[in-house]
Structures are given as C-alpha cells and as structure tokens.
C-alpha cells in the first residue's frame, strides 16, 4: 500500500522517509532529494539519514481560505 496524505495525517511518526514522501507526491525519490536541496521540502539529517519532519511536511499542504 502506498502512502497518502491521509495516512500520514493519521500517523504518529515524527519523521518521514524520502521514499514515503515520494509516494505521497507521486514522484521519484530523487526528485524529493532535489526538493530538499533546493529548500522546498523541510528535512533534517540524522547521521547519514535524511528525514522529513511529518508536521512540517503536512504544513506545506495547509492553505488559508480567505
């Protein structure tokens, strides 16, 4: 089963992997890596791993309705 925004919203995980984020966005994991390098996707480095904070990632999809 691939990840969706809804499954991530219900998750209690603090961070997401690049693979999970790529599934949600429907792109290659390399595209997620490039988005991290460009500063479009928030990420933290833990040792050699690059992780995406779940709450900050979800905030990218929050919109203000005026």
Domains in the chain, please, with CATH?
Answer: 5-59 (1.10.10)
Q: Above 90 in pLDDT, residue 1?
A: no
Q: Above 80 in pLDDT, residue 66?
A: no
* Site of tokens 């709450």: 55
**pTM beyond 0.75:** yes
- Structure token digits, residue 49: 């791993």
Neighbouring CB atoms inside 10 A of 23's CB total 19
Q: What is the pLDDT of residue 15?
A: 97
User: What confidence category does residue 46 fall into, taking pLDDT thresholds of 50, 70 and 90?
Assistant: very high
Regarding predicted confidence, which is higher, 18 or 63? 18
Q: How far apart are CA 49 and CA 56, in angstroms?
A: 17
- Structure token digits, residue 45: 């480095």
């Amino acid at each position: 089963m691939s990840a969706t925004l809804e499954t991530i919203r219900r998750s209690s995980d603090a961070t997401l992997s690049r693979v999970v984020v790529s599934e949600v966005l429907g792109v290659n994991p390399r595209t997620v890596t490039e988005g991290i390098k460009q500063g479009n996707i928030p990420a933290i480095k833990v040792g050699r791993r690059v992780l995406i904070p779940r709450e900050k990632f979800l905030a990218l999809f929050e919109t203000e309705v005026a």
